[in-house]
Amino acid sequence: MDWLTFTSEVIDSLAWPVVILVLGVTFRRQVSNLIPYLRKLKAGPVEAEFEMDARQALANSEKLSGQFLKGSTTKIEKPTDEKEAIAKLIGARNDPAGMIIEAWTGIDGALFRLGKQTGLVVDPLESISSVYKSIVSSELLSDETKRLVMELYELRNRVAHARVKPTVGAAQDYVLAADKVIDMLEVQRKNTDSIESTKN
């Protein structure tokens, strides 16, 4: 190999890396703005669909909660304060799937309390799906609330059965939607309690 061939091979080997490096340095701000989109693209269509479904569940819960709680005179004592809610949202950044499962546990607890109060659920060791089916098949909840609970249950199942790896944004939307549903279920439980006390 002569000197000219060697120089030609070195230039040929380094040309593309140097061009990429120069473009990367020149357009680093634009490239850094595109990185989040590349992660979402890498995640695939299933995760993107989950994120849209979680966003839609949040929108539905805000709309329904606004209508439901506006017409209610029952004041609800929030078991979680603002700092705890912020901690939940920050926790969703560390473990999005875990936060979705934990948020559903809160809904399940509210469903259990409502079912126990009305006599639909007796055994405290009943499974999640049994409590869920008992409440959803009853006439305790409005059709819109049932649809929202079913939507959140389905989203939770997608995460629990590892069909989806949720994004941080989707987990935060789910947690916020779950909090609104828990508020509605607690108001429903208190209203049911006050109706039963007026009958007696």
Q: Which pTM does this prediction carry?
A: 0.67
Does 80 lie in the same domain as 31?
A: no
Q: How many CB atoms lie within 10 A of CB 116?
A: 16
So what's the pLDDT on residue 86?
66
Q: Return the axis-axis angle of helices 168-199 and 96-118, rounded to nearest 10°.
A: 10
Place of tokens 């944004």: 169
**Are 32 and 106 contained in the same domain?**
no
Q: Which domain holds residue 23?
A: 1-43
Together in a domain, 87 and 140? yes
Q: Is there a single domain that holds both residue 122 and residue 140?
A: yes
How many structural domains compose the chain?
A: 2
pLDDT tens digits for 65-102? 877 766 665 555 554 555 666 666 676 667 888 889 99
